Amino acid sequence: MQSEITREFIDQIEDAVERRDGEFILSNMEDMYAADITTVLYELNTEQSKYVVDLLPSDVGAEILSDLDSDVRTSFLKNFTTEEIARYIGQMDSDDAVDLLNEQPVQRKEEIIALLDDQEQVADIIDLLHYDQDCAGGLMAKELIKVNINWRVGQCIEEIRRQAEEVEKVYAIYVVDDRDKLVGRLGMKTLILTSDHTPISQIYDDDVIAIESYKDEQEVATVMQKYDLDAIPVVNIQGRLLGRITIDDVIDVIQEQAELSRQLMTGITESIEEDDSVFRLSRARLPWLTVGMVGGLLGARFIGLFEGDIAIIPALAMFTPLITATGGNVGIQSSSIIIQTLANKTVMFDNFGQRIIKVLLVAIINGLVMSGLVMGFNFLFNVELTLSVVVAVALFSVVLLASFMGTVTPMILDRFGVNPAVAAGPFITTANDLLGLGVYFLVAHMLYNL
């Protein structure tokens, strides 16, 4: 059953661990989902967590270890013997087992594999270890249901019963030929409603979406999102069926990519967690902070070029924060929309010219509204009319320019194979600050005849 994890419940578990009251812990956790138990373990220290995991059935412990964050799991498993880890791996799907093994030192990895009893699982694990973790082959599990195209329905059902013992969730039945080449899929409803003597070749569906083992994990996620798939078969370059990727693994990829894009947009150059070392956190943040600082210095120097204008009309300095902040905000909004579209490969871009026209129309509307609000504000506070016009015209121009920059920059970076998320943070903000200041003082120079 799903449980609400309260502070009181966690305190009770901690007290039970200190008393070594295993009966209390088991009685309170036997009906809990593994994910809920994992939540409790995150609140305990390493020694307490290991005591709890040791009490639980091996299959539950295996699911918990599969759910743990990679960094946490690597540290946690240092407290387990190779025999204990091998016992849990024996309860895992091959893809989860390989993920765990890849986090271990080479010698320990080989020792764990040598302790596994299921030779079929060992063969699957060794096969998967050859693939990079960020490709389709690294994501797939070897456990699946497949039948031969030359079989009849009765034989197919018997084989499914045998294979299903090793497959936790049956998303699809894949049909292969004598060379194990994927030729289609078979619906469970069709199978059940068909006579036992009917050949599979007469009822299978040859319209099956598959992905090659060398494809990037992001492409896997895109295909599964586009076609709304719960699982997708993985084939080699000759079309031979190798395994399957399920939706739970793809969700992990989507979350990782979203987190990486969010960090890049805020100027963080590498994937980090809150509990990482001070050095790593600083290293991830400093590059774009430095870019922002350089941009600020350039902005200060840029304002210095108009020092004479400010000396004549000091009130010009009062509105510089408005111009720079508006340019940065508009640029971030525009780039975020473009990056979201670029990330969804199933969305096709319109004609480039049409997209620019659309962006400019939106910018014109926003610029007119914002300029009107500024004019109204300045009128209420008796700001000089010429200065009000300068600010309004400059603000309108900055909105147009920032919208254009925020749209075009990510598209150009994407065209050259650079992650466009890097453009959405300090880069666009700094660039728009400088451009905004240039437009502002240029308009002032023209209207004041300086």
Same domain, 65 and 170: no
283 and 411 housed in the same domain: yes
Same domain, 349 and 233: no
Domain extent for 235: 145-255
291 and 433 belong to one structural domain: yes
Among 99, 131, 163, the domain-final residue is: 131
Same domain, 312 and 439: yes
Q: What is the pLDDT of residue 151?
A: 92
User: 172 and 248 share a domain?
Assistant: yes
- With a CB cutoff of 8 Å and minimum separation 6, the contacts of 30 are none
Residues 291 and 242 in one domain: no
- Residue 268 belongs to a domain: no
Q: What are phi and psi of 128, to 5 degrees?
A: -70, -25
Domain end position, chosen among 68, 99, 131: 131
CATH number for position 366:
1.10.357.20
**269 occurs within a structural domain:** no
Determine the pLDDT at residue 57.
Answer: 92
| Residue 48's CATH number | 1.25.60.10
The pLDDT assigned to 424 comes to 61
Q: Which residue in 413, 450, 409 sits closest to 431, CA to CA?
A: 409
Among residues 255, 290, 311, the one where a domain terminates is 255
> Looking at the domain assignment, is residue 183 inside a domain?
yes
Cα 112 to Cα 83, 88, 98, 105, 115: the distances in Å are 7, 10, 11, 11, 5
Residue 163 sits in the same domain as residue 207: yes
Looking at the structure, tell me whether residues 111 and 151 fall in a common domain: no
Please tell me the distance from the alpha carbon of residue 176 to that of residue 149, in angstroms, as a whole number: 6
Residue 5 has a CB neighbour count (10 Å cut-off) of 15
Residue with tokens 């209390």: 24
AA letter at 167: V
Containing 114, the helix (H) or strand (E) segment is helix 106-115
Rounded to 5°, the CA angle 420-421-422 comes to 90
Q: In terms of domains, do 106 and 45 share one?
A: yes
How many domains, in total, are found in the chain?
A: 3
**Could you read off the pLDDT tens digit of each residue along the chain, which spans 450 residues?**
445 688 888 999 999 999 999 999 999 898 888 889 998 998 899 999 999 999 999 999 999 999 888 888 988 999 999 999 999 999 998 889 999 999 999 999 999 999 998 888 899 999 999 898 889 999 998 988 899 999 999 998 888 888 777 777 788 899 999 999 999 999 888 888 889 899 999 999 999 999 999 999 888 988 998 888 889 999 999 999 999 998 888 887 877 777 766 666 665 656 656 656 677 767 766 776 777 777 778 777 777 777 777 777 887 788 888 888 888 888 878 877 777 676 665 454 556 677 778 888 888 999 899 999 989 988 888 888 888 888 899 899 989 988 888 888 888 877 777 777 665 666 777 777 788 888 888 888 888 776
Decide if 263 is inside a domain: no
Are 76 and 47 found together in one domain? yes
Q: Between the CA atoms of 360, 365, 368 and 373, what dihedral angle is there, to the nearest 10 degrees?
A: -140
CATH number at residue 244: 3.10.580.10
Encode 121-149: b = buried (16+ Cβ within 10 Å), e = exposed: bbebbebbeebeeebbbbbbbbbbbbbbb
Asked whether residue 265 is assigned to any structural domain, the reply reads no
